[in-house]
Structure 1
Amino acid sequence: MFMRIDHIGIACHDLEEKISLFSSTFDLTVVAREVNEEQGVKEAMLHVADGEGGGSYIQLLEPLSPDSPVGRFLAKRGEGVHHVAFGVPDVERAMAEIGGKGVRLLDERPRHGSMGSQIAFLHPKDVGGMLTELVQAPTP
């Protein structure tokens, strides 16, 4: 079902500061930036590597407001890993298969994700306490 780890989402207070840190420390390059109003974040995708199933990234997330999901995460836990995202060939099929195994879905249907992808989240309490995202890359 999973093709790769698509990205690791990292919550931060200052997007520009963390871009500078990851760029200078790990030689990562920003390949996309966007504001996602629906999710309440400013984000940057930093390219890590390409593999057989596609690229892998670090996604830096700065909340647009303290009451957004990432804003609440930062207030409760501080900066750090927010979620792990797995690349799947078909997000709707993956949702149906995983949901059929009793895992609660946070999304009823896929929604817009970074760089034109389709995404859905799984309930962390059903997957070992880890917020998990399913990512279907855009069709070329």
Structure 2
Amino acid sequence: MAAEDLNIRVDHVGIAVESVEDAEPLLTTFGCEKLIDDTVEDRFRYAYYRLGDASRIELIEPIAEESFLTDFLDRHGRGLHHVTLEVADIDAVIDTLGAADVDVVDRRSYEGWTEAFVSPRNDTGVLFQLMEYHEPFATEQGIDPGTLYVGGDRLSADE
């Protein structure tokens, strides 16, 4: 598939913080609305915010003594951790990146989404998370899809 045929959009930026509580007041000052506040496998906490009708920001805080996030904070301090791109067809995106000699790592599938990462060793220096949402994601979060997804709907390979 040609790159121009891929259905991709920026979903959110992830910011590594030492404390969601300490960082959140700035986001609320901007007018952000918290959509999700959850933990992943007792490794990290994430809080997901909507700004306006299309922008999303995620704060990620380590809760494990040692993790990828504690390593990141030790090396780089607080700040931009990743850019998440929502993709309609993660297989097509991975194939396209592979054809361009871009390595995609850590592909994992969950009930609500499939994700993979482009290492920050690429020429931009940014970690990209590729995220294909599945139908149950919004239901699992208990949030109206019109609020949860950029533009109100998850991307579809049929678009």
TM-score, reference length from structure 1: 0.82
1:65 aligns with 2:61: no
* Counterpart code for 2:38: E
**Is the Cα contact below 8 Å between 1:7 and 1:58 reproduced in 2?**
yes
Aligned residues: 131
**Is the Cα contact below 8 Å between 2:7 and 2:89 reproduced in 1?**
no
1:19 aligns with 2:24: yes
Q: Distance in 1 between matches of 2:123 and 2:134?
A: 26
Change (3 A) 1:121 1:127: farther
Q: Distance in 1 between matches of 2:11 and 2:90?
A: 13
Counterpart for residue 130 of structure 2: 134
Aligned partner of residue 126 in structure 1, secondary structure:
coil
1:36 aligns with 2:45: no
Q: Distance in 2 between matches of 1:87 and 1:65?
A: 27
Counterpart for residue 8 of structure 1: 13
* Counterpart code for 1:32: I
Q: Distance in 2 between matches of 1:34 and 1:112?
A: 16
Task: Map 1:43-122; keep pairs closer than 5 Å.
Answer: 43-50=46-53, 55-107=54-106, 109-112=107-110, 116-122=112-118
**Is the Cα contact below 8 Å between 2:104 and 2:117 reproduced in 1?**
yes
Deviation, 1:130, is 0.7
In structure 2, the gaps of 5 or more residues are: 1-5, 137-159
Q: Distance in 1 between matches of 2:17 and 2:117?
A: 20
Q: Which shifted more, 61-70 or 4-13?
A: 61-70
1:124 aligns with 2:120: yes
Deviation, 1:90, is 1.2
Q: Which runs of 4+ in 1 moved over 4 A?
A: none
* Counterpart code for 1:37: E
* Counterpart code for 1:43: Y
Deviation, 1:17, is 1.8
Identity within the alignment, %? 31
Change (3 A) 1:73 1:126: same
The alignment yields a C-alpha RMSD, in angstroms, of: 2.1
**Is the Cα contact below 8 Å between 1:2 and 1:86 reproduced in 2?**
no
Q: Distance in 2 between matches of 1:12 and 1:77?
A: 11
Q: Distance in 1 between matches of 2:132 and 2:12?
A: 12
TM-score, reference length from structure 2: 0.73
